[in-house]
A and B are shown apart, each in its own frame.
Chain A
């Protein structure tokens, strides 16, 4: 472990005192308001809200993961009767819905972003603290409403997390579970929109003096772009859901042929949200990994401006690729959506090469957070490359709706979970003042990393052999059975990994206190105390680059642009 880095009295510049309570008034703010449960219920502190988001979304990950284990047990044997056909449809629908709507997004832009973005730009809170609280309560209500589906007559929604019309209308899916699903998505959708507003306003208006746009950390940049994407994409989904609800209950025929509607319209609306959503999910995790790799390589982010350019390009392209989910509908313009989708590989490739460039020539320390970050890059590389196949319509024709697609996006989302774990191990100490146990963290990483590959590789092969997705049973074929058993074993390893994480959390509870900057990290949030005070900073360092804390701690180690060959002074030497 890196020991606590004391702030040196070097000539990194003078700090600006922003809170005259100083260190002595640490708890002064807390005494004004209520305490305990009431404090939590009425809080507008971005760190508390962010923590609530993080805990709730990790809980959704655990529940969604449990559903996944049930799915994998069902598929471990041919013609399995572990669950019924109806139950199976509910299982994968709720698994997908929990993971996409209730875990990945809220964890990233509601949880870590909420805590870290204001800290990274030197803001005292989010721009609209009460709106931020409303976001969380809407999210929590939505999550509970979706889970309630399991206890109503007819069970939870069972038409897949994409809810294709007309299967999702009242004729084919009459149950209350479907309505709860729609209500949940409306609530969490508004929650996301409010968070998007908050992120944009915070980044545009609450940056500390000196924190120009091109000095913001990559994580914050990515979350700004995510905020904009949320504002462009989520209202479309919300409108689509309202129309679906009208079809179900108010006699409209927007998605039914009967009455002049167009079923494919739902797919257009859904994926117009759904593809930007892929990047709304992915970009925050890209940001986390970028920060972790830079910190654990002790180098600045390589190609910082190129990284921002890549983020913006991904976001822009993501708005024009939705119909690559619809190549097999036969009603979309194939070449346009094909080239737009293929082009996304370019900025994504830039990111991967920039991550390599950040590590290159650095002093790489393979702590748990860094292992998860590297595991993310490798797994995401696999998911990204198989995504390129799917951008080609002829190749999509024969892999669409098979396990090849399932394996592709599980490569991506299992990589995202690794990015999220990297973020938790990296920023956890900043938020709580305590770090997690490292050996347990490494065991957790290897179980997850091996389990993920063990699950997706057989699924790629199964997809090419012709196993469709969302089937509860498959005929007795020894090859399919063996491959499915490997996949199930991989899923179980990931389940064990999650248990190791829970054990680590309980074991490490208040066991390993850390200082302000346990990783010798570079960005602004590592300048304040761990955990940060009520309004985040007592004092701010001068912000003259995108890594003010590093400049303050290592005034002789400035970033070098290409062509600058002067040897840096040896570390620790008096400046």
Chain B
């Protein structure tokens, strides 16, 4: 900046203030670097390998946002307070209107930052949306107001329904999946748009009528995780919960065998067969179980 013709009182204190600011910034940086090696910035570190990548992207974006945000905020406050008119000072400031080098700088630097963010985004996005050959396929049907998780009988390649787990607002259904294996989810809605969201997987996807959304989870640890519908879908939207239980592959195979034995194809819920038939013919109808509440 050019020197101002008349320095207002108090300008001499700036050096001391700048020193204090620098010290604060140093302390902040030290805390950031030493205190916690992996600050989460409020997000889940995620259970799936896909969600983990997303989490790292979140960290990168957050560091950038905090640095740029703090810098800009200080500039705003500095400009507003440092150049405050004092008392009855009626003199007029220099009427500076342009400073081309400065303007070019704050155009070019953000463009570079944007392309860096975009590059990181594309790398993570390709990881998160990739669909490698799966070990297990689970079909997820969303309906007003619940979920159905349909497992294949023997081979994921055949569309045969093995058995289904279904639940709605009064009984929360549970999707069981193996740890450390690629689990392919084929997501679809049978009525309105729903949102399939598992908090600790750092992932959500719409369940759309007439569209199959396919994505992959590879859970790195076992446990039970909370899921919920995120897209407004009508009266009981708030109560459309589900759970995801990740178990070891061995435990998964055991569970699968037990479920298959307990619920063979023939006795599998009639509604799910009718849902599938409707979907195949391209004419979705509301499953009987949801119709009564509407």
Please, which residues of chain A bring their CB within 8 A of the CB of B255? none
Q: Which listed residue, B4, B95, B203, B215, touches A398 by the CB 8 Å rule?
A: B203
| Inter-subunit contact B83/A334 (CB<8 Å) | no
Bound-complex Cα distance A339 to B114 (A): 8
B173 at the interface (CB under 8 A from A): no
| Inter-subunit contact B98/A264 (CB<8 Å) | no
Bound-complex Cα distance A557 to B95 (A): 7
| Inter-subunit contact B195/A382 (CB<8 Å) | no
A350 at the interface (CB under 8 A from B): yes
| Inter-subunit contact B4/A301 (CB<8 Å) | no
Give, as a whole number of angstroms, the nearest-CB distance from B234 to chain A: 6
- Which residues of B1-58 are within 8 A (CB) of A? 1-2, 4-5, 42-44, 51, 53-54, 57-58
Stretch at the interface among B121-129, B147-155, B245-253: B121-129
| Inter-subunit contact B61/A395 (CB<8 Å) | yes
- Among B128, B195, B204, B226, the most chain A Cβ lie within 10 Å of the Cβ of B204
Stretch at the interface among A47-55, A61-69, A435-443, A461-469: A461-469
A274 at the interface (CB under 8 A from B): no
Pairs A–B under 8 Å by Cβ, sample size 23? A172-B234, A257-B210, A257-B283, A260-B282, A263-B208, A303-B103, A328-B205, A342-B114, A346-B111, A349-B106, A355-B76, A356-B76, A364-B79, A385-B65, A385-B68, A392-B120, A394-B57, A397-B202, A398-B204, A468-B195, A468-B197, A562-B96, A565-B2
Bound-complex Cα distance A39 to B203 (A): 58
A85 at the interface (CB under 8 A from B): yes
Mask of A373-397 contacts with B, CB within 8 angstroms, 1/0:
0100110011001101100111101
Please, which residues of chain A bring their CB within 8 A of the CB of B58? 389, 395
Please, which residues of chain A bring their CB within 8 A of the CB of B191? 166, 172
Bound-complex Cα distance A258 to B278 (A): 10
A571 at the interface (CB under 8 A from B): yes
B289 at the interface (CB under 8 A from A): no
Bound-complex Cα distance A432 to B73 (A): 35
Stretch at the interface among A193-201, A218-226, A470-478: A470-478
Please, which residues of chain B bring their CB within 8 A of the CB of A38? none
Mask of B120-146 contacts with A, CB within 8 angstroms, 1/0:
111011001100000000000000100
A298 at the interface (CB under 8 A from B): yes
5 shortest A-B CB distances, which residue pairs? A466-B199, A257-B210, A401-B230, A471-B238, A359-B79
- Among A89, A167, A335, A350, the most chain B Cβ lie within 10 Å of the Cβ of A167
A128 at the interface (CB under 8 A from B): no
- Among A260, A345, A363, the most chain B Cβ lie within 10 Å of the Cβ of A363
Please, which residues of chain B bring their CB within 8 A of the CB of A394? 53-54, 57, 121, 124-125, 128
Please, which residues of chain A bring their CB within 8 A of the CB of B211? 264, 329-331
Bound-complex Cα distance A299 to B237 (A): 53
A362 at the interface (CB under 8 A from B): yes
| Inter-subunit contact A335/B122 (CB<8 Å) | yes
Point out residues on A near B: beta carbons under 8 Å: 85-86, 88-89, 159-160, 164, 166-167, 172, 256-258, 260, 262-264, 297-306, 328-331, 334-335, 338-339, 342-343, 345-346, 349-350, 352-357, 359-366, 374, 377-378, 381-382, 385-386, 388-389, 392-395, 397-398, 400-402, 460-461, 464-466, 468-474, 554, 557-562, 565, 567-568, 570-572
Known: A257-B210, A349-B106, A468-B228. A561 touches B76 (CB 8 A): no
Bound-complex Cα distance A164 to B233 (A): 9
- Which residues of B206-233 are within 8 A (CB) of A? 206, 208-211, 213-215, 226, 228-233
Q: Which listed residue, B65, B84, B102, B110, touches A366 by the CB 8 Å rule?
A: B84
Q: Which listed residue, B103, B129, B213, touches A350 by the CB 8 Å rule?
A: B103
Please, which residues of chain B bring their CB within 8 A of the CB of A331? 208, 211
Known: A263-B208, A353-B106, A394-B121. A362 touches B93 (CB 8 A): yes
Mask of B64-95 contacts with A, CB within 8 angstroms, 1/0:
01001100110110011101110001111111
Bound-complex Cα distance A328 to B79 (A): 40
Nearest residue (CB) in A for B109 is: A349
Bound-complex Cα distance A564 to B235 (A): 65
| Inter-subunit contact B85/A364 (CB<8 Å) | yes
Nearest residue (CB) in A for B68 is: A385
| Inter-subunit contact A172/B192 (CB<8 Å) | yes
| Inter-subunit contact B80/A328 (CB<8 Å) | no
Please, which residues of chain A bring their CB within 8 A of the CB of B99? 302-303, 357, 562
Please, which residues of chain B bring their CB within 8 A of the CB of A366? 80, 84
Known: A166-B191, A363-B85, A397-B205. A374 touches B230 (CB 8 A): no
Bound-complex Cα distance A350 to B229 (A): 38
Bound-complex Cα distance A394 to B44 (A): 14
Nearest residue (CB) in A for B107 is: A350
User: A260-B282, A343-B114, A401-B230 are known contacts; what are 18 more A-B pairs with Cβ within 8 Å?
Assistant: A88-B238, A167-B193, A300-B95, A304-B97, A330-B214, A335-B122, A339-B114, A350-B107, A361-B93, A385-B68, A394-B54, A394-B128, A395-B57, A397-B128, A398-B51, A464-B42, A557-B95, A562-B102
| Inter-subunit contact A363/B92 (CB<8 Å) | yes
Known: A89-B235, A471-B238. A328 touches B195 (CB 8 A): yes
B287 at the interface (CB under 8 A from A): no
Known: A300-B95, A469-B230. A400 touches B89 (CB 8 A): no
| Inter-subunit contact A374/B80 (CB<8 Å) | yes
| Inter-subunit contact B197/A401 (CB<8 Å) | yes
| Inter-subunit contact A393/B235 (CB<8 Å) | no
Please, which residues of chain A bring their CB within 8 A of the CB of B100? 562
Mask of B271-289 contacts with A, CB within 8 angstroms, 1/0:
0000000000011100000
Known: A361-B93, A363-B92, A378-B73. A338 touches B79 (CB 8 A): no
Nearest residue (CB) in A for B114 is: A342
Give, as a whole number of angstroms, the nearest-CB distance from B93 to chain A: 5
Bound-complex Cα distance A401 to B230 (A): 6
Give, as a whole number of angstroms, the nearest-CB distance from B261 to chain A: 34
Nearest residue (CB) in A for B4 is: A361
Nearest residue (CB) in B for A474 is: B238
| Inter-subunit contact A164/B231 (CB<8 Å) | yes
Known: A378-B73, A381-B69. A398 touches B83 (CB 8 A): no
| Inter-subunit contact A392/B57 (CB<8 Å) | yes
| Inter-subunit contact A338/B95 (CB<8 Å) | no
Q: Which listed residue, A297, A378, A389, A400, touches B61 by the CB 8 Å rule?
A: A389
| Inter-subunit contact B204/A298 (CB<8 Å) | no
Bound-complex Cα distance A339 to B115 (A): 8
Give, as a whole number of angstroms, the nearest-CB distance from A321 to chain B: 13
Please, which residues of chain A bring their CB within 8 A of the CB of B4? 361
| Inter-subunit contact B193/A263 (CB<8 Å) | yes
| Inter-subunit contact B80/A364 (CB<8 Å) | yes
Give, as a whole number of angstroms, the nearest-CB distance from B62 to chain A: 8
Known: A346-B114, A359-B83. A470 touches B237 (CB 8 A): yes
Give, as a whole number of angstroms, the nearest-CB distance from A155 to chain B: 12
Give, as a whole number of angstroms, the nearest-CB distance from B280 to chain A: 12
| Inter-subunit contact B75/A356 (CB<8 Å) | yes
- Among A89, A304, A356, the most chain B Cβ lie within 10 Å of the Cβ of A356
Give, as a whole number of angstroms, the nearest-CB distance from A435 to chain B: 18
Give, as a whole number of angstroms, the nearest-CB distance from B114 to chain A: 5
Nearest residue (CB) in A for B203 is: A397
Q: Which listed residue, A262, A471, A560, touches B237 by the CB 8 Å rule?
A: A471
Nearest residue (CB) in B for A546 is: B97
Please, which residues of chain B bring their CB within 8 A of the CB of A260? 282
Give, as a whole number of angstroms, the nearest-CB distance from A395 to chain B: 6
Give, as a whole number of angstroms, the nearest-CB distance from A481 to chain B: 15
Known: A394-B121, A398-B202, A568-B94. A473 touches B239 (CB 8 A): yes
